[in-house]
Amino acid sequence: MTTRTFHDGESDGLEALEALDPETIESFSDLLSAMKKTAFGGRRLGDAFEILDKMVEDPDCTVILTLSGAMTIAKMGKIICSMIDRNMVQAVVSTGALIAHGLSEAVGKTHYKYHPSMTDTELYEKGYNRVYDTLEMESNLNHVERVVSQTLKRMTPDTPISSEILTREIGKTLHDHYEGPGILKSAYEKGVPVYIPAFTDSEMGLDVSIWAMKERRQSQGTPQSPDLSDQETWKILQQSRPSFNPFLDLNSYTEKLLSAKRLGIFTIGGGVPRNWAQQTPPYIDILNLRMGTQLTPPRYQYGVRICPEPDYWGGLSGCTYEEGVSWGKFVPRKEGGMFAEVLSDATVVWPLLMMGLLEKARRR
Protein backbone atom coordinates (compact mmCIF):
# COMPACT_ATOMS: atom_id res chain seq x y z
CA MET A 1 0.00 0.00 0.00
CA THR A 2 1.33 3.44 -0.98
CA THR A 3 2.28 5.65 1.94
CA ARG A 4 0.59 9.06 1.82
CA THR A 5 2.59 12.21 2.44
CA PHE A 6 0.46 15.12 3.59
CA HIS A 7 1.41 18.41 1.95
CA ASP A 8 0.26 21.86 3.00
CA GLY A 9 -0.47 23.18 -0.52
CA GLU A 10 1.91 26.11 -0.32
CA SER A 11 4.94 23.86 -0.81
CA ASP A 12 3.44 22.69 -4.12
CA GLY A 13 2.85 26.26 -5.30
CA LEU A 14 -0.95 26.19 -4.91
CA GLU A 15 -2.76 29.48 -4.67
CA ALA A 16 -4.42 30.10 -1.32
CA LEU A 17 -8.03 31.23 -1.11
CA GLU A 18 -9.25 34.00 1.16
CA ALA A 19 -12.60 34.59 2.82
CA LEU A 20 -14.40 37.54 1.25
CA ASP A 21 -14.46 40.20 3.96
CA PRO A 22 -17.23 42.76 3.33
CA GLU A 23 -15.67 45.09 5.91
CA THR A 24 -12.67 45.65 3.63
CA ILE A 25 -14.59 46.11 0.34
CA GLU A 26 -14.85 49.76 -0.68
CA SER A 27 -15.47 49.56 -4.45
CA PHE A 28 -16.62 47.34 -7.30
CA SER A 29 -13.02 46.67 -8.30
CA ASP A 30 -12.17 45.65 -4.71
CA LEU A 31 -15.13 43.27 -4.71
CA LEU A 32 -14.24 41.68 -8.05
CA SER A 33 -10.58 41.26 -7.09
CA ALA A 34 -11.61 39.66 -3.80
CA MET A 35 -13.96 37.27 -5.61
CA LYS A 36 -10.99 35.89 -7.53
CA LYS A 37 -9.83 34.31 -4.26
CA THR A 38 -13.18 32.65 -3.52
CA ALA A 39 -14.74 29.69 -5.35
CA PHE A 40 -17.33 28.56 -7.91
CA GLY A 41 -19.02 31.30 -9.98
CA GLY A 42 -17.50 34.05 -7.85
CA ARG A 43 -13.98 32.94 -8.69
CA ARG A 44 -14.84 32.76 -12.39
CA LEU A 45 -16.08 36.33 -12.26
CA GLY A 46 -12.96 37.47 -10.42
CA ASP A 47 -10.76 35.74 -13.01
CA ALA A 48 -12.76 37.38 -15.80
CA PHE A 49 -12.24 40.81 -14.27
CA GLU A 50 -8.49 40.34 -13.95
CA ILE A 51 -8.12 39.13 -17.54
CA LEU A 52 -10.47 41.74 -18.98
CA ASP A 53 -8.55 44.49 -17.20
CA LYS A 54 -5.24 43.21 -18.61
CA MET A 55 -6.80 42.94 -22.05
CA VAL A 56 -8.17 46.47 -22.28
CA GLU A 57 -5.06 48.00 -20.69
CA ASP A 58 -2.60 46.19 -22.99
CA PRO A 59 -1.55 48.90 -25.50
CA ASP A 60 -0.60 46.26 -28.07
CA CYS A 61 -3.89 44.33 -27.84
CA THR A 62 -6.69 44.67 -30.37
CA VAL A 63 -9.90 43.77 -28.52
CA ILE A 64 -12.88 42.30 -30.35
CA LEU A 65 -16.30 42.64 -28.68
CA THR A 66 -18.88 40.07 -29.83
CA LEU A 67 -22.53 40.51 -28.93
CA SER A 68 -25.62 38.31 -29.06
CA GLY A 69 -28.88 38.15 -27.19
CA ALA A 70 -31.27 41.02 -26.54
CA MET A 71 -28.67 43.17 -24.81
CA THR A 72 -29.90 46.53 -26.12
CA ILE A 73 -33.53 45.79 -25.26
CA ALA A 74 -32.14 44.76 -21.87
CA LYS A 75 -30.70 48.31 -21.61
CA MET A 76 -27.02 47.37 -21.86
CA GLY A 77 -26.51 49.70 -24.83
CA LYS A 78 -24.76 52.48 -22.94
CA ILE A 79 -22.25 49.96 -21.56
CA ILE A 80 -21.36 49.10 -25.16
CA CYS A 81 -21.09 52.81 -26.01
CA SER A 82 -18.84 53.40 -23.02
CA MET A 83 -16.52 50.55 -23.96
CA ILE A 84 -16.18 52.01 -27.46
CA ASP A 85 -15.84 55.61 -26.26
CA ARG A 86 -13.10 54.64 -23.79
CA ASN A 87 -11.11 52.70 -26.42
CA MET A 88 -11.66 49.38 -24.66
CA VAL A 89 -12.61 47.66 -27.93
CA GLN A 90 -11.33 48.08 -31.48
CA ALA A 91 -14.00 46.11 -33.39
CA VAL A 92 -17.54 44.90 -32.74
CA VAL A 93 -19.18 41.75 -34.13
CA SER A 94 -22.89 41.58 -33.39
CA THR A 95 -26.25 40.16 -34.27
CA GLY A 96 -28.29 42.49 -36.45
CA ALA A 97 -31.26 42.46 -34.08
CA LEU A 98 -29.13 43.76 -31.20
CA ILE A 99 -27.90 46.67 -33.31
CA ALA A 100 -31.38 47.41 -34.68
CA HIS A 101 -32.94 47.55 -31.22
CA GLY A 102 -30.05 49.76 -30.14
CA LEU A 103 -30.91 52.08 -33.02
CA SER A 104 -34.45 52.56 -31.73
CA GLU A 105 -32.94 53.66 -28.43
CA ALA A 106 -30.41 55.90 -30.20
CA VAL A 107 -33.19 57.87 -31.92
CA GLY A 108 -34.93 58.48 -28.60
CA LYS A 109 -37.50 55.69 -28.53
CA THR A 110 -38.48 53.75 -25.42
CA HIS A 111 -38.72 50.09 -24.39
CA TYR A 112 -41.29 49.04 -21.80
CA LYS A 113 -41.73 46.37 -19.14
CA TYR A 114 -43.99 43.52 -20.18
CA HIS A 115 -47.05 43.11 -17.97
CA PRO A 116 -48.10 39.45 -17.63
CA SER A 117 -51.79 40.37 -17.67
CA MET A 118 -51.45 40.99 -21.42
CA THR A 119 -51.60 38.01 -23.78
CA ASP A 120 -49.22 37.70 -26.70
CA THR A 121 -52.19 37.93 -29.07
CA GLU A 122 -53.13 41.26 -27.48
CA LEU A 123 -49.52 42.42 -27.73
CA TYR A 124 -49.48 41.63 -31.45
CA GLU A 125 -52.71 43.55 -32.02
CA LYS A 126 -51.27 46.59 -30.24
CA GLY A 127 -47.93 46.47 -32.04
CA TYR A 128 -45.93 45.39 -28.99
CA ASN A 129 -43.12 42.94 -29.74
CA ARG A 130 -42.24 40.90 -26.63
CA VAL A 131 -38.70 39.86 -25.74
CA TYR A 132 -39.13 37.83 -22.56
CA ASP A 133 -40.02 40.51 -19.96
CA THR A 134 -39.58 43.58 -22.17
CA LEU A 135 -41.47 45.18 -25.05
CA GLU A 136 -40.20 46.76 -28.27
CA MET A 137 -42.80 48.94 -29.96
CA GLU A 138 -43.32 48.08 -33.63
CA SER A 139 -43.49 51.82 -34.24
CA ASN A 140 -39.94 52.07 -32.88
CA LEU A 141 -38.73 49.86 -35.71
CA ASN A 142 -40.42 52.17 -38.20
CA HIS A 143 -38.17 54.93 -36.87
CA VAL A 144 -35.19 52.61 -37.35
CA GLU A 145 -36.26 52.22 -40.98
CA ARG A 146 -36.25 56.01 -41.38
CA VAL A 147 -32.65 56.17 -40.18
CA VAL A 148 -31.67 53.37 -42.54
CA SER A 149 -33.52 55.03 -45.45
CA GLN A 150 -31.91 58.38 -44.64
CA THR A 151 -28.55 56.63 -44.85
CA LEU A 152 -29.32 54.71 -48.04
CA LYS A 153 -30.14 57.95 -49.87
CA ARG A 154 -26.37 58.42 -50.12
CA MET A 155 -26.13 55.10 -52.00
CA THR A 156 -27.61 53.29 -54.98
CA PRO A 157 -28.62 49.61 -55.21
CA ASP A 158 -25.56 49.03 -57.40
CA THR A 159 -23.16 50.37 -54.74
CA PRO A 160 -21.19 47.46 -53.25
CA ILE A 161 -21.97 47.36 -49.54
CA SER A 162 -21.23 45.17 -46.56
CA SER A 163 -22.42 45.27 -42.98
CA GLU A 164 -19.28 47.21 -42.02
CA ILE A 165 -19.90 49.85 -44.70
CA LEU A 166 -23.58 50.21 -43.86
CA THR A 167 -23.16 50.37 -40.08
CA ARG A 168 -20.45 53.03 -40.51
CA GLU A 169 -22.77 55.10 -42.72
CA ILE A 170 -25.66 54.72 -40.26
CA GLY A 171 -23.27 55.87 -37.54
CA LYS A 172 -22.55 58.96 -39.62
CA THR A 173 -26.28 59.63 -39.93
CA LEU A 174 -26.64 59.42 -36.15
CA HIS A 175 -23.59 61.67 -35.68
CA ASP A 176 -24.94 64.28 -38.08
CA HIS A 177 -28.62 64.31 -37.09
CA TYR A 178 -29.19 62.80 -33.63
CA GLU A 179 -27.99 64.14 -30.29
CA GLY A 180 -28.30 61.10 -28.05
CA PRO A 181 -25.80 58.27 -27.52
CA GLY A 182 -25.81 55.27 -29.82
CA ILE A 183 -23.64 52.23 -30.47
CA LEU A 184 -23.13 52.96 -34.17
CA LYS A 185 -22.65 56.66 -33.43
CA SER A 186 -19.85 55.89 -30.95
CA ALA A 187 -18.33 53.39 -33.38
CA TYR A 188 -18.35 55.95 -36.20
CA GLU A 189 -16.79 58.64 -34.03
CA LYS A 190 -14.05 56.29 -32.79
CA GLY A 191 -13.41 54.58 -36.12
CA VAL A 192 -14.44 51.18 -34.71
CA PRO A 193 -15.83 48.83 -37.39
CA VAL A 194 -19.09 47.01 -36.65
CA TYR A 195 -19.68 43.69 -38.41
CA ILE A 196 -23.02 41.86 -38.63
CA PRO A 197 -22.28 38.42 -40.12
CA ALA A 198 -25.95 37.31 -40.30
CA PHE A 199 -27.10 40.66 -41.66
CA THR A 200 -30.43 39.56 -43.15
CA ASP A 201 -31.46 38.18 -39.74
CA SER A 202 -32.40 41.69 -38.62
CA GLU A 203 -34.78 44.55 -39.19
CA MET A 204 -32.01 46.41 -41.01
CA GLY A 205 -31.47 43.52 -43.41
CA LEU A 206 -35.17 43.52 -44.30
CA ASP A 207 -35.12 47.31 -44.71
CA VAL A 208 -32.18 47.16 -47.13
CA SER A 209 -33.83 44.45 -49.23
CA ILE A 210 -37.09 46.41 -49.58
CA TRP A 211 -35.14 49.61 -50.30
CA ALA A 212 -33.46 47.92 -53.26
CA MET A 213 -36.87 46.86 -54.60
CA LYS A 214 -38.29 50.38 -54.29
CA GLU A 215 -35.23 52.00 -55.86
CA ARG A 216 -35.30 49.70 -58.89
CA ARG A 217 -39.03 50.19 -59.37
CA GLN A 218 -38.67 53.97 -59.29
CA SER A 219 -35.61 54.05 -61.55
CA GLN A 220 -37.22 51.74 -64.11
CA GLY A 221 -40.57 53.50 -63.98
CA THR A 222 -42.53 50.28 -63.55
CA PRO A 223 -45.36 50.85 -61.05
CA GLN A 224 -47.26 47.86 -59.71
CA SER A 225 -49.79 46.62 -62.24
CA PRO A 226 -53.33 45.93 -60.99
CA ASP A 227 -53.41 43.00 -63.39
CA LEU A 228 -50.70 41.14 -61.47
CA SER A 229 -51.42 38.94 -58.48
CA ASP A 230 -49.50 39.49 -55.24
CA GLN A 231 -47.49 36.34 -55.92
CA GLU A 232 -46.59 37.53 -59.43
CA THR A 233 -45.61 40.93 -58.03
CA TRP A 234 -43.41 39.22 -55.42
CA LYS A 235 -41.62 37.22 -58.11
CA ILE A 236 -40.79 40.44 -59.95
CA LEU A 237 -39.76 42.36 -56.84
CA GLN A 238 -37.37 39.73 -55.53
CA GLN A 239 -35.30 40.06 -58.69
CA SER A 240 -34.16 43.46 -57.34
CA ARG A 241 -31.42 42.90 -54.79
CA PRO A 242 -28.86 45.18 -53.13
CA SER A 243 -25.21 44.67 -54.04
CA PHE A 244 -24.45 43.24 -50.61
CA ASN A 245 -21.17 41.32 -50.41
CA PRO A 246 -20.39 39.57 -47.09
CA PHE A 247 -16.88 38.73 -48.28
CA LEU A 248 -16.02 42.43 -47.96
CA ASP A 249 -16.66 41.97 -44.23
CA LEU A 250 -14.64 38.78 -44.05
CA ASN A 251 -11.53 40.24 -45.65
CA SER A 252 -11.77 43.61 -43.89
CA TYR A 253 -11.99 41.85 -40.52
CA THR A 254 -9.17 39.49 -41.44
CA GLU A 255 -6.95 42.42 -42.38
CA LYS A 256 -7.63 44.03 -39.00
CA LEU A 257 -6.63 40.87 -37.15
CA LEU A 258 -3.53 40.27 -39.29
CA SER A 259 -2.25 43.75 -38.46
CA ALA A 260 -2.73 43.32 -34.68
CA LYS A 261 0.24 42.69 -32.38
CA ARG A 262 -1.93 40.82 -29.89
CA LEU A 263 -5.58 39.83 -29.86
CA GLY A 264 -8.26 39.69 -27.19
CA ILE A 265 -11.93 38.76 -27.41
CA PHE A 266 -14.74 39.73 -25.04
CA THR A 267 -17.91 37.80 -25.78
CA ILE A 268 -21.46 38.26 -24.57
CA GLY A 269 -23.42 35.08 -25.30
CA GLY A 270 -22.53 32.93 -28.29
CA GLY A 271 -24.12 32.48 -31.67
CA VAL A 272 -22.90 33.61 -35.07
CA PRO A 273 -20.95 36.66 -33.80
CA ARG A 274 -18.82 34.55 -31.47
CA ASN A 275 -18.04 31.95 -34.09
CA TRP A 276 -17.54 34.34 -37.03
CA ALA A 277 -15.15 36.49 -34.98
CA GLN A 278 -12.95 33.41 -34.47
CA GLN A 279 -12.95 32.22 -38.10
CA THR A 280 -9.89 34.19 -39.19
CA PRO A 281 -7.21 31.79 -37.85
CA PRO A 282 -8.66 28.78 -39.76
CA TYR A 283 -9.19 31.07 -42.78
CA ILE A 284 -5.49 31.92 -42.85
CA ASP A 285 -4.43 28.34 -42.09
CA ILE A 286 -6.45 27.12 -45.08
CA LEU A 287 -5.19 29.99 -47.26
CA ASN A 288 -1.59 29.06 -46.49
CA LEU A 289 -2.24 25.41 -47.22
CA ARG A 290 -4.07 25.89 -50.51
CA MET A 291 -2.49 29.06 -51.90
CA GLY A 292 1.11 28.67 -50.75
CA THR A 293 1.14 31.85 -48.65
CA GLN A 294 3.03 32.04 -45.36
CA LEU A 295 0.90 34.42 -43.32
CA THR A 296 0.92 34.01 -39.54
CA PRO A 297 -2.57 32.98 -38.40
CA PRO A 298 -3.77 35.55 -35.83
CA ARG A 299 -4.66 33.76 -32.58
CA TYR A 300 -6.34 35.20 -29.51
CA GLN A 301 -4.22 35.52 -26.39
CA TYR A 302 -6.94 36.88 -24.11
CA GLY A 303 -10.53 35.68 -23.88
CA VAL A 304 -13.45 36.53 -21.59
CA ARG A 305 -16.96 35.27 -22.18
CA ILE A 306 -20.25 35.72 -20.31
CA CYS A 307 -22.93 33.19 -21.18
CA PRO A 308 -25.64 31.59 -19.03
CA GLU A 309 -25.26 28.11 -20.53
CA PRO A 310 -22.64 25.35 -20.40
CA ASP A 311 -21.07 24.42 -23.72
CA TYR A 312 -22.97 21.13 -24.17
CA TRP A 313 -26.27 23.01 -24.48
CA GLY A 314 -24.97 24.89 -27.49
CA GLY A 315 -25.22 28.40 -26.05
CA LEU A 316 -21.49 28.89 -26.52
CA SER A 317 -21.79 27.80 -30.16
CA GLY A 318 -20.32 24.50 -29.03
CA CYS A 319 -16.79 25.73 -28.39
CA THR A 320 -15.05 26.79 -25.19
CA TYR A 321 -11.75 28.67 -25.32
CA GLU A 322 -9.85 25.51 -24.44
CA GLU A 323 -11.55 23.69 -27.28
CA GLY A 324 -10.74 26.62 -29.57
CA VAL A 325 -7.04 25.94 -29.00
CA SER A 326 -7.47 22.69 -30.96
CA TRP A 327 -8.79 24.73 -33.91
CA GLY A 328 -5.81 27.06 -33.83
CA LYS A 329 -7.97 29.99 -32.73
CA PHE A 330 -6.36 30.62 -29.31
CA VAL A 331 -2.90 30.72 -27.82
CA PRO A 332 -2.54 27.76 -25.40
CA ARG A 333 -2.31 28.61 -21.71
CA LYS A 334 1.22 27.25 -21.50
CA GLU A 335 2.21 29.81 -24.16
CA GLY A 336 0.56 32.75 -22.39
CA GLY A 337 -3.12 32.34 -23.24
CA MET A 338 -5.48 33.75 -20.59
CA PHE A 339 -9.16 32.77 -20.64
CA ALA A 340 -12.18 33.05 -18.37
CA GLU A 341 -15.78 31.97 -18.96
CA VAL A 342 -18.54 33.12 -16.63
CA LEU A 343 -21.73 31.04 -16.70
CA SER A 344 -24.17 33.77 -15.80
CA ASP A 345 -26.70 36.26 -17.14
CA ALA A 346 -24.77 39.12 -18.73
CA THR A 347 -27.25 41.69 -17.42
CA VAL A 348 -26.13 40.71 -13.90
CA VAL A 349 -22.35 40.51 -14.21
CA TRP A 350 -21.49 42.77 -17.18
CA PRO A 351 -22.41 45.97 -15.29
CA LEU A 352 -20.26 44.80 -12.35
CA LEU A 353 -17.27 44.20 -14.64
CA MET A 354 -17.75 47.57 -16.31
CA MET A 355 -17.93 49.45 -13.03
CA GLY A 356 -14.75 47.70 -11.88
CA LEU A 357 -12.94 48.63 -15.10
CA LEU A 358 -14.03 52.26 -14.85
CA GLU A 359 -12.87 52.48 -11.23
CA LYS A 360 -9.44 51.08 -12.07
CA ALA A 361 -9.16 53.41 -15.05
CA ARG A 362 -9.94 56.42 -12.85
CA ARG A 363 -7.29 55.34 -10.33
CA ARG A 364 -4.72 55.15 -13.09
Summarised one tens digit per residue, pLDDT across range 163-222 is 999 999 999 999 999 998 999 999 999 999 999 999 999 889 999 999 988 887 776 655
* pLDDT score for 259: 97
pLDDT of 4 > 90? The answer is: no
Across 327-341, average pLDDT: 94
Among candidate residues 44, 48, 91, 45, the one with its CA nearest the CA of residue 66: 91
Amino acid code (one letter) for 155: M
- pLDDT averaged over the chain? 92
* pLDDT score for 224: 60
Helices (H), 238-292: 246-258, 271-277, 280-291
Burial readout 70-88 (b: 16 or more C-beta within 10 A, e: otherwise): bbbbbebbbbbbebbbeeb
Please report, in angstroms and rounded to a whole number, the separation of the first and last CA atoms in the chain.
57
Dihedral angle over CA of 197, 203, 205, 209, nearest 10: 170
Low-confidence winner among 190-204, 205-219, 244-258, 275-289 (lowest mean pLDDT): 205-219
Per-residue confidence band for 320, with pLDDT thresholds at 50, 70 and 90 = confident
pLDDT of 226 > 80? The answer is: no
pLDDT of 255 > 70? The answer is: yes
Among candidate residues 271, 309, 255, 204, the one with its CA nearest the CA of residue 66: 271
pLDDT of 3 > 60? The answer is: yes
* pLDDT score for 241: 86
Q: 141 vs 105, 136, 138, 178, CA distance in Å? A: 10, 8, 5, 16
Tell me the pTM.
Answer: 0.93
DSSP 3-state of 276 = helix
pLDDT of 314 > 80? The answer is: no
